[in-house]
Structure 1
Amino acid sequence: MSGKSIRSILIVFCLCLGLNLYGCSVDPELYSQEENWAYLETEVSDPKADVFFLCPSVYSGDEDSYNMSLRDKETKASFVGAINMEKGIYDDEDTRFFAPYYQQIGLNVYEMAPQEREPYLEIAYNDVREAFLYYLEHYNEGNPVVLAGFSQGADMCLRLLKDVFEDASLQERLVACYAIGWQISDEELENYTQLKMAQNETDTGVIVSFNSEAEFVEDSLMIPEGTRSYAINPLNWKTDGTFADRSLNQGACFTDYDGQINQEIPALTGAYIDEERGALKVIDVSAKEYPAGLSIFEEGIYHLYDYQFFYRNLQENVDKRIDAYLDQSAL
């Protein structure tokens, strides 16, 4: 048995006993401490909605480390930076923004077989669940909730929906879940009735998701060859293969770790959904112009640009779904 396999078994054992990766008891009051929140916006009075955001992967990991430490100041700085790159889509003067630090998995874990990843993902999710439940009890105050995340953060959002949102009263508070950059399968939709995919621009209580890739791609970490995911096109808000011309793209925005938009390009690219893979096929750009950027992705995987290619369309859509939710609630 390999060292990684033994470690995985030990992690599962620790989780069953309520222990974390480091052998310490999980502190139910962990998220009562402001230092464990990247963002904790409680000062907005009478917000339209709260945004609970889960950061994408920023931790690389190493030979002996597979989950980010909450004491790792350098990685926590990158954690905030990665959030800032997408925060402008969700956060405005009418919303409150919450984003917990969590022991996310390192990129090295994605190089493992799927069954070997799960114990490390459970560590990450255990933190996310604790943070969300603490938020609900102490900060939510009955406000509508937008769940949002990207990549690993999207995975964590979907785990929350499967686990916590079985509660019908909580489902009623869900504006939408923006789980962008992760796969959603037939099996998941069949097994978890609270998972409902967005069908148009303004439906609520639904999942908004897509995975961007070049037309020639047939296999990826998010959508392995021979599998299919669910998606909605952020340019025309259709779920079929209807082509969306680049003229519908209100602005691709390329942001930095401070959240500043360094470059904005209207009408950068069109897109359509490949109905066989469920991937969002992005045209009008090339894989050389927009390289995959990480060793876990092949050429033509535009995962790193999921938010940036469609920034303004997503920003507008968040506002529209919140308004639609409030209009329905007023009836």
Structure 2
Amino acid sequence: MRAIAFVSLLLLSACASNQTPYVLNTRWKDAPVPAAADYADPASWSALPNRFDAADLVPKKSGFSDGQSNAKADVFFIHPTILTYKPENEYVWNASVTDAALNVRVDSSTILNQATAFNAAGRIFAPRYRQAHYQAFVTEFKEDKAAALEVAYSDVKRAFDYYLAHHNNGRPIIIAGHSQGTVHATRLLKEYFDGKELGKQLVAAYIIGIATPKNTFTNIPVCANPSQTGCFVAYTTFLQGYLPPWHPGTVTDLASVNPLTWSLDENFASKEKNPGGVSYGFKYVKQFADAQNHQGLLWTNTPYVPGRSFVKLKNWHKADINLFYQNIRENAVHRVETFLSQK
């Protein structure tokens, strides 16, 4: 059992690390753009509540169950960048939503390990979209980044429009995203919710994995306690004591909500406040990690399983949700219940 836990931790850390992505040698303007998705076609969605898919699963031995059939709220989930490798077809800057191999990667990684954290709180709608290649976030050419992300967001926006027209029917909404998904979720929140009529339906936004200033929105504040609604949760996870190169080393205006306490203070929260996370292979692990806000970052010690001393990872970006899976799951349910009680 100890050996299995150690191997799982090593594999999780490998997934969470910033492995060297493939570098594109083509400019965006010189690459073909795949056809836009038709969101009336169920195949254009990674997750829909009226069919069985990866978003319906729960970790074994967790005691959780999928609650979508009785849910009174909806979750619009936008997945992160999965296209980090050498593209296997001509669509190098923006992925095709009909790329079967990539779709399997999306469903078996982010939908399984991240979107499922919300399946007790609401019906999950997760669109496939022409995600931008990882290079959009590191390229020196700003116009390439802007163009690739614009294509990706145009899909997310059309998917959300389809969801509003055909599925929402005035139901409360959770917006959730990670990494590139958070980039698009933030833009969606500004365009559809911030100071808009639809803002009255916003339970909360979980926009995780991107450094997000506290004043990103005009009318959507940072969540400062576990019961607040109409607010947003944001944090980025690094090893305790580590400051990434981009961090100024002083107090910042970045939002960081501790997912073990749902507060903005910098008090340390021990692993005892973490009932369970999800490790590699969608395995449930009790008291998986601790957490502490520090100058706009979320610090965590290496997850508490045997062999942890051998893992030297400093950036836990890809495990932002895995580490605090049950806390997020329970909090999303609580915010929905609070939102409904206020109506």
Shorter-chain TM range is 0.7 to 0.9
**Please, which runs of 5 or more residues in structure 1 have no aligned partner?**
12-19, 292-298
Could you say if the C-alpha distance between residues 128 and 271 of structure 1 is closer, same or farther in structure 2, counting changes exceeding 3 Å?
A: same
Aligned counterpart, 1:282: 300
- 1:149 corresponds to which of 144, 160, 177: 177
Which digits, 9 at most, give the CA deviation of each residue in 1:37-63, with x for residues without a partner?
Answer: 111214866631011111111112548
| 2:292 is equivalent to residue 272 of structure 1 | yes
Aligned residues: 295
Secondary structure in 2 aligned to 1:51? strand
Conserved 8 A contact 1:61-1:108: no
| 2:329 is equivalent to residue 321 of structure 1 | no
Conserved 8 A contact 2:302-2:311: no
Aligned counterpart, 2:107: 80
Conserved 8 A contact 1:269-1:282: yes
> Counterpart amino acid of 2:134?
L
**1:58-77 residue pairs with structure 2 within 5 A?**
58-60=82-84, 62=86, 65-77=92-104
Given the two structures, how large is their TM-score scaled by the length of structure 2?
A: 0.77
- 2:43 corresponds to which of 29, 35, 45: 35
Aligned counterpart, 1:112: 139
**Please, which runs of 5 or more residues in structure 2 have no aligned partner?**
1-24, 52-67
Cα distance, 1:151 vs. partner?
1.4
Cα distance, 1:253 vs. partner?
1.7
Conserved 8 A contact 2:175-2:185: yes
Conserved 8 A contact 1:100-1:128: yes
Which digits, 9 at most, give the CA deviation of each residue in 1:89-116, with x for residues without a partner?
Answer: 1113x63111110011112322313724
Conserved 8 A contact 2:94-2:133: yes
Which digits, 9 at most, give the CA deviation of each residue in 1:69-124, with x for residues without a partner?
Answer: 112110011111121112331113x6311111001111232231372422111111
**1:134-145 residue pairs with structure 2 within 5 A?**
134-145=162-173
For residues 130 and 267 of structure 1, the distance between their equivalents in structure 2, rounded to whole angstroms, comes to: 39
Higher mean alpha-carbon deviation, 247-256 vs 224-233, is at 224-233
Conserved 8 A contact 1:49-1:143: yes
For residues 252 and 216 of structure 1, the distance between their equivalents in structure 2, rounded to whole angstroms, comes to: 22
For residues 333 and 280 of structure 2, the distance between their equivalents in structure 1, rounded to whole angstroms, comes to: 20
Q: More relative contact order in 1 or in 2 (CA 8 Å, sep 6+)? A: 2
- 2:263 corresponds to which of 238, 246, 255: 238
For residues 127 and 165 of structure 2, the distance between their equivalents in structure 1, rounded to whole angstroms, comes to: 15
Higher mean alpha-carbon deviation, 146-155 vs 123-132, is at 146-155
Identity, % of aligned positions:
28
For residues 242 and 310 of structure 1, the distance between their equivalents in structure 2, rounded to whole angstroms, comes to: 17
